[in-house]
Copies of this chain bind each other. A is one copy, B any other.
Amino acid sequence: MIRRSTAPTLVDVAREAGVSLKTASRVLNNSSELNPATEKRVREAMARLDYRPNELARGLKARRSAAIGMIVPNLSDPFTASTLQAVLTVARARGYAVIFTSSSGDESLEKAELDLLVRRQIEGLIVAPALGKKNYFRSIVGTRLPIVAFDQFVSDKSIDCVTVNNREAARTAVEHLLTHGKKKILAVGVRPDIYTCVERVAGYCEAMAAEKLPERVLLVEDEKDLTPEAIGKFFRKKDAPDAIFSLNWVASMGTLRALRDLHGFGSMAFISFDDFELAEMLSPALTVVRQPSAEMGRIAAELLFERLTGGRTVRKNVVLSTEFHIRQSCGCS
């Protein structure tokens, strides 16, 4: 048997099976109008040649890349990893590949990645937007590409959204601190512009305002600005906070690290928006607002495929509920 330098094509399969190209193609696409005997011959030929269809060629002709794109701002966040895993699972079940990229929260990078994904003929996009300010997706991808945004609500009526009840959950968490008699609650967040941060701050403010308490907010542009100095500044005043509400995982990590350096964790009430492995192992065990991250990923993917299969044209805006996990750091024994 002659070793070909290039992989076998459908033409090779057809020749091997003694049928026409079209018939081989029909087998590949599981066409119904086929003589079972013919089909068997073709399948045997495929197996014999170890034939793999070239998805690029299929996609080119059929205008169907069988790929979706996914863009997230921050991969280190366990929330993101969980979401991605869920998306992969749904996509696999549908026979779709996921072209995955990270924007690092950088708008220009996000735009560049978006452009590349479009060139690669993705059929749909799942995105956790890098910025909350305004939405430029449609100007880059055109009007035809189905898009699902998660984590962040976008106002564009052509984009499905999967978010959680950020504001309400934040308010509930802060109210819980208030019931423990805390009055000087500091909210700590990263990237003040993004949707989730804005919403959670709003929830915090609502709770504080209801008790006519002054707001204390520390919002930094970048994770690395969440230094012990930045946090410590609040504690060197004589009117130091008696509780901290951190607005996401990144903020929690930074704040906890800073508190450790300041020897302040353990002596202060703390609630984290976002749960994570070992939150319960800290002393005291961390009280958290948990987002259903896998659920968000699954639903985002399913919304996308609803559109891809043409089943739906009206926008869906799914808002999931968080769970408030009371452990000890809020002040509960």
Contact = CB atoms under 8 A, between A and B. Distances in A.
A68 to B, nearest CB: 11
B85 A102 contact: yes
Interface in A78-116: 78, 80-82, 84-85, 88, 92, 97-102, 113, 115-116
A98 B100 CA distance: 6
Contacts of A113: 92
A184 to B, nearest CB: 23
A118 B119 CA distance: 20
Nearest to A53: B119
A76 interface: yes
Nearest to A280: B260
Contact of A56 (B60, B76, B278): B60
Contacts of A82: 76
Contacts of A55: 119-121
Interface residues of A, number: 48
Nearest to A120: B55
Contact of A281 (B57, B60, B256, B280): B256
Contacts of A59: 56
Nearest to A64: B56
Contacts of A85: 75-76, 102
Nearest to A3: B143
A190 B142 CA distance: 47
Given A98-B100, A281-B265, A65 B56 contact: yes
Contacts of A257: 280-281
Contacts of A115: 52
A171 B317 CA distance: 53
11 contacts: A53-B119, A55-B120, A75-B84, A76-B81, A80-B81, A92-B101, A253-B278, A260-B280, A265-B281, A276-B277, A283-B283
Interface of A: 7, 52-57, 59-60, 65, 67, 75-76, 78, 80-82, 84-85, 88, 92, 97-102, 113, 115-121, 142, 253, 256-257, 260, 265, 276-278, 280-283
